[in-house]
């Protein structure tokens, strides 16, 4: 009689749990020029410290068109903006499509600043065929006040390449 191997009996018999998804931790920071809000007219330090989590690795890697919901990792962590948002909780998504030139990685992060208003950070990494490192470490960023839709800041955030080894150590299959 043939027996089927299911995730539950594989786990029970081998002690190995099947992989469902992945997660990693990323910090990016840089300067954004603010045109509105409490730091209007200044260029200030903006930093996010986020955990990314995708619940299904097979769906995340699928090549089905229009399946972008599965190519999005959930983000949660902290937003830090000098004089604007001190270690405030932030959530959002990271969409990855490494085959695209523009917007190969798109970050959408929501947070409430110190003034109680809701803001949205939108950032994009673009492929740079001549300098892969620059494409993977440079995030072109806009910040919008949600209620008014007004763009309040724009700038560039960077992944510090000196933190590459610690960053790679945060990647886990979960």
Write out the DSSP string of 64-132.
-TT-GGGGEEEEEEEEEETTTEEEEEEEEEEEE-TT-STTSEEEEEEEE-TTS-EEEEEEEE---TT-H
pLDDT at 161 (0 to 100): 81
Q: What is the mean pLDDT of residues 48-71?
A: 72
CA-to-CA distance for 174 and 170, rounded, in angstroms? 12
pLDDT at position 163: 83
Q: In this predicted structure, which of 47-51, 66-70, 102-106 has the lowest mean pLDDT?
A: 66-70
Rounded Cα distance, 13 and 5, in Å: 10
Ordered by where they begin, the domains of the chain are 18-173 (2.40.128)
pLDDT at residue 75 tops 90 = yes
Rounded Cα gap, residues 158 and 96, in angstroms: 17
- If you average pLDDT over residues 69-90, what whole number do you get? 90
pLDDT at 139: 93
pLDDT greater than 60 at residue 66:
no
Q: How far apart are the first and last CA of the chain?
A: 33
Of the candidates 38, 43, 41, 36, which has an alpha carbon nearest to the alpha carbon of residue 152?
A: 36
115-164 pLDDT per residue, tens:
999 999 999 987 766 655 555 689 999 999 999 999 999 999 998 888 87
Average pLDDT over residues 163-171: 83
pLDDT tens digits for range 3-56: 444 443 444 444 455 668 889 999 999 999 999 988 999 999 999 999 999 887
Alpha carbons 150 and 124: distance in angstroms, whole number = 19
Better pLDDT: 115 or 98? 115
CA–CA distance, 108 with 100 (Å, rounded to integer): 17
The token pair that represents 153 in the structure block: 């800041």
pLDDT value of position 131: 55
pTM of structure: 0.79
């Amino acid at each position: 009689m043939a027996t089927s191997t299911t995730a539950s009996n594989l786990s029970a018999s081998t002690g190995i749990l099947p992989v469902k998804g992945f997660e990693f931790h990323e910090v990016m920071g840089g300067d954004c020029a603010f045109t509105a809000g409490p730091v209007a007219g200044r260029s200030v330090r903006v930093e996010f410290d986020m955990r990314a989590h995708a619940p299904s690795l097979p769906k995340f890697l699928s090549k089905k068109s229009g399946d972008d919901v599965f190519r999005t990792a959930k983000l949660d962590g902290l937003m830090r903006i000098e004089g604007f948002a001190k270690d405030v909780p932030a959530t959002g998504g990271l969409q990855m499509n490494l085959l695209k030139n523009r917007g190969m990685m798109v970050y959408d992060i929501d947070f409430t600043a110190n003034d109680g208003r809701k803001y949205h950070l939108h950032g994009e990494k673009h492929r740079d065929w001549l300098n892969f490192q620059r494409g993977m470490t440079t995030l072109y960023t806009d910040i919008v006040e949600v209620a008014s839709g007004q763009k309040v800041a724009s700038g560039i955030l960077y992944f510090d390449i000196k933190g590459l080894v610690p960053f790679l150590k945060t990647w886990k299959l979960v």
